Amino acid sequence: MDFSLDSTQTELRDSLRRYLAAEVAPIVNRYEAEARMVPQEMVEAMRDFGLLGGMLQEKDGGYGLPMMTYGMLIAELARVWPSLRSIVSTSNLAASVLSDGGSPYLKEKYLPRVLSGEAIASFALSEPNIGSDAANIETRAVETETGWRVNGRKLYISLGTVCELGVVFVQTQRKSGERGVSCLLFERAMAGFSSSPISKMGMLSCPLGELLFEDVEIPAANLIGTEGKGFALAKKYLNIGRCVVAFSALGIAEAAYEAAVKYAGDRVQFGRPIGGFQLVQQLVADMMTLVETSRLLCWRAADALDRGAPDSQMLCSMAKRHATDAVLRVAEMSMQVHGGAGYTSLFPVERHYRDARHLSIAEGTNQIQALLMAQSVLGISALK
């Protein structure tokens, strides 16, 4: 059992760190304060580090990275700018679904532009009445002579207001009356499609939106995967997404912990650095432990995914649940170390907390993860 990165992983990490420190870190606070979207050129630059299309097969334009390597890069990205991380992982999620189930025609037409960062893609699953109960999607797609006519609303969609295209999960209904969840590729330019922004508390440089489909005609050729079998495709990549969310939480936790350590060494009270006080040291020790246990569970889940282990789904749920709970505790303790300064925008720790808060909800709430974990050992579903 080896708990170290190999030379290739170390080289990738260090290269990404240098770029993020020089080009990205200096603008993060300003862009987030102004709710300005991440610059397009920075999204496109992620291609050079294996982050856009990282896990896709090389034949589809990806890098074929194992989850362990991709996750490590995601953590580095989240450590500096969670909004940029969200844009990258959302685009990758849509690209993975397209790569897995898309026809050669769809992949040739859309994948190169998504993987270059030129075209922003979204993943549209959640709805006003559908979150954890994703199998009961209400958005409808009725069969037509040329494809599908889609009507419905999608809510809380990352990049929903800026995406050029995306994958949308719908209830398809054939003329024969047969129904099932299917996945379709849509374009913003399609008549009847519109979007509107949704305000949120964190990651303000990654837009969130509501999508509205009003008699949107989607060609039959835009079906991804098998008709009526789209939910299996969604579940597959939501599981990988949970591991990505766990690594994202790890990155933010590292940033919050590092900020606390620096402040504890710089801030002087009663004639000495506050890092010399026992209760501050206790907070630092607790943060260290939470960061390290999150790292170990992230690596464990990534390794299971890479090996195709039968317990990979349970481990992804466990890593996601632990790391996203842990990052909130780390961010809160970091704010406590900073005292009154931590509550202000003069230091980044209040942003770390805001950016991390949604992670315990994304890709299935932590309460749902607990049910999935328990089901894996009890063999009893609490959802049926």
Express each pLDDT in 169-217 by its tens digit.
Answer: 999 875 555 568 999 999 999 999 999 999 999 999 999 999 999 999 9
The DSSP bridge partners found for residue 180 are: 172
Distance CA 192, CA 90 (A): 24
Mind listing the pLDDT tens digit for each residue in 289-305? 999 999 999 999 999 99
Q: What does the pLDDT read at residue 175? A: 53
Domain with residue 181: its CATH number is 2.40.110.10
Domain boundary among 228, 248, 273: 228
Boundary residue ending a domain (118, 143, 171) = 118
- Does residue 77 sit in the same domain as residue 201? no
Q: Above 60 in pLDDT, residue 344? A: yes
Residue 67's alpha-carbon distances to 37, 138, 293, 298, in angstroms, are: 27, 32, 18, 10
- Domain hosting residue 145, numbered range: 122-228
Please report whether residue 1 resides in a domain. no
Query: Are 85 and 38 in contact, with CB atoms under 8 Å apart?
Result: no
Listed range (126-140, 230-244, 286-300) with the worst mean pLDDT: 126-140
Q: CATH number, domain at 274? A: 1.20.140.10
Asked, for residue 383, whether it belongs to a domain, the answer is no
Same domain? For 293 and 368 the reply is yes
| Residue in this structure with the two tokens 């006519």, named with its chain if needed | 149
Q: Does 251 lie in the same domain as 216?
A: no
- Name the token pair of 8: 């290739």
Q: What is the mean pLDDT of the chain?
A: 94
Please give the model's pTM, rounded to 2 decimal places.
0.94
Residues marked as catalytic: 363
Looking at the structure of the chain, the number of domains it has is: 3
For residue 2, tell me if it sits in a domain. Answer: no
Q: Which of 43, 326, 28, 334 is nearest to 204 (CA)?
A: 28
Same domain, 338 and 290: yes
One domain, residues 149 and 91: no
Contact 282, 293 (CB under 8 A): no
Domain for residue 305, yes or no? yes
pLDDT band at 167 (very low <50, low <70, confident <90, very high): very high
Closest CA relative to residue 251, chosen from 19, 80, 41: 80
DSSP state of 103: -
CATH number at residue 16: 1.10.540.10
Q: What percent of the chain has pLDDT over 90?
A: 88
> Does residue 356 share a domain with residue 281?
yes
Q: Let me know whether 168 and 96 are in one domain.
A: no
Which of 228, 261, 287 corresponds to the end of one domain? 228
